[in-house]
């Protein structure tokens, strides 16, 4: 009953498109931002509910639970270091968009790896890029986003502010899709228009678990988006990573763009069952530098599992982005 009432109130406060009304069938809805703030809600309400003055320390209950259940060694940095997620009024981990000098700023777009789940802001890919470029890099990463959300925000940024100095795309997993439920607009509370959406990851990240029809459609849309971006930016500097799994600690693994350098005195990275054999110096390095805070599982035999990229990986990704840039010198 309570959930039904909340749903009624939310709907009553907003106007939604009725696609069966003839004069609305082909209306130009323009472009709206797609952020963590307006996934299934309007940004203003999300900010009021989940943040305090636009700031929170955990992105969701799952992240908080993972942290509370952590049974990591006492040298884990996040026992002492607090993460602050600070959002602008559009739900991005960025300055207010109207205040940005876009012509002299770069933009990075992607999913939670770009957003920086489990990382202080200074340890995100965008901030390491900013240091390399000596210029602002605006973080438009969206937690859970697929390639359609990334593309939407790329177009919205250009339509609203014009082209930035350059762009970095960390494309999400191809099996992610967007499920759009409706479009809400012109409500009585002056909330911004938005597409009511869900960012979905059906099954797992293994392509073997999907039908040919599903994957064919996803890869077709992804390919069209890739080529559209390249055409739009044919005279603008940009760089892209097409597969989130880009790094490894194992030198013999050749399908990754980045190999994270092991600490001095360590010849080979751990695998399942060998973590217990490594010295504390290696373990401290791995959980504090290679892993973000959101380590899902940990045991003394296998080590940490399931986190986002830590600051050492993000730093190397920033350098890789610059090395792969096209259409002119980033300077």
Better pLDDT: 183 or 56: 56
pLDDT at 3 over 50: no
pTM of the predicted model as reported, rounded to 2 decimal places: 0.90
pLDDT value of residue 226: 95
pLDDT at 17 over 80: no
Better pLDDT: 63 or 331: 63
Better pLDDT: 16 or 249: 249
Average pLDDT over residues 293-298: 92
Q: What is the pLDDT of residues 78-93, one digit of tens each?
A: 999 999 999 999 999 9
pLDDT at 9 over 70: no
Q: DSSP letter for 259, please.
A: E
Q: Which of 3-7, 167-171, 237-241 comes out lowest in average pLDDT?
A: 3-7
pLDDT value of residue 212: 80
Q: Which of 84-98, 219-233, 249-263, 307-321 comes out lowest in average pLDDT?
A: 249-263
Strand order in the sheet with 166-170: 137-139, 106-110, 166-170, 237-241
pLDDT value of residue 202: 65
pLDDT value of residue 63: 86
pLDDT at 281 over 80: yes
Report domain extents, the chain: 31-245+311-323
Q: Which residues contact 192 (CB under 8 A, 6 or more apart)?
A: 32, 33, 38, 42, 43, 44, 90
Q: Which of 8-22, 119-133, 276-290, 309-323 comes out lowest in average pLDDT?
A: 8-22
* CA-based nearest residue to 263, from 224, 289, 244, 239: 289
Average pLDDT over residues 282-288: 96
Q: What is each CA distance from 295 to 64, 127, 330, in whole angstroms?
A: 11, 22, 35
User: pLDDT band for position 187 (50/70/90)?
Assistant: low
Q: What is the pLDDT of residues 99-134, one digit of tens each?
A: 999 999 999 999 999 999 999 999 999 999 999 999
Average pLDDT over residues 288-314: 94
Q: Where are the alpha helices (DSSP H) in 13-142?
A: 43-50, 61-69, 112-115, 125-133
pLDDT at 59 over 90: no
pLDDT at 36 over 70: yes
pLDDT value of residue 6: 42
Average pLDDT over residues 240-264: 82
- What is d(CA 77, CA 80) in angstroms, rounded to the nearest whole number? 6
HEC profile for 39-58? CCCCHHHHHHHHCECCEECC
Better pLDDT: 214 or 147: 147
Better pLDDT: 268 or 202: 268
User: pLDDT band for position 194 (50/70/90)?
Assistant: confident
């Amino acid at each position: 009953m309570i959930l039904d009432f909340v749903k009624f109130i939310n709907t009553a406060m907003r106007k939604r498109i009725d696609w069966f009304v003839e004069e609305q069938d082909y209306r130009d809805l323009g472009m709206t931002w797609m952020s963590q703030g307006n996934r299934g809600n309007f940004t203003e309400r999300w900010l009021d509910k989940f943040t305090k003055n636009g700031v929170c320390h955990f992105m969701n209950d799952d992240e908080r639970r993972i942290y509370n259940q952590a049974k990591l060694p006492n040298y884990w940095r996040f026992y002492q270091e607090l993460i602050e997620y600070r959002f602008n009024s559009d739900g991005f981990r960025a300055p207010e968009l109207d205040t940005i000098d876009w012509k002299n700023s770069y933009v990075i777009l992607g999913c939670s790896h770009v957003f920086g789940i489990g990382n202080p802001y200074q340890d995100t890919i965008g901030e390491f890029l900013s240091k390399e470029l000596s210029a602002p890099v605006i973080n438009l990463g969206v937690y859970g986003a697929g390639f359609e959300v990334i593309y939407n925000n790329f177009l919205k940024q250009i339509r609203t502010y014009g082209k930035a100095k350059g762009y970095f795309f960390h494309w999400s997993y191809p099996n992610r899709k967007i499920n759009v439920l409706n479009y809400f607009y012109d409500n009585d509370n002056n909330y911004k228009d938005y597409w009511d959406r869900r960012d979905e990851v059906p099954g797992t990240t293994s392509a073997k678990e999907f039908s040919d029809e599903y994957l064919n459609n996803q890869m077709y849309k992804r390919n069209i988006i890739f080529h559209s971006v390249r055409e739009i930016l044919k005279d603008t500097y940009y760089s892209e990573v097409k597969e989130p799994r880009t790094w490894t600690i194992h030198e013999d693994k050749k399908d990754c763009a980045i190999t994270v350098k092991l600490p001095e005195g360590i010849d080979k990275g751990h695998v399942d069952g060998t973590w217990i054999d490594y010295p504390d110096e290696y373990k401290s390095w791995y959980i504090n530098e290679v892993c973000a805070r959101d380590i899902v599982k940990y045991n003394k035999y296998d080590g940490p599992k399931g986190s986002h990229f830590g600051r050492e990986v993000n730093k190397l990704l920033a350098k890789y982005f610059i090395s792969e840039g096209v259409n002119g010198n980033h300077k």
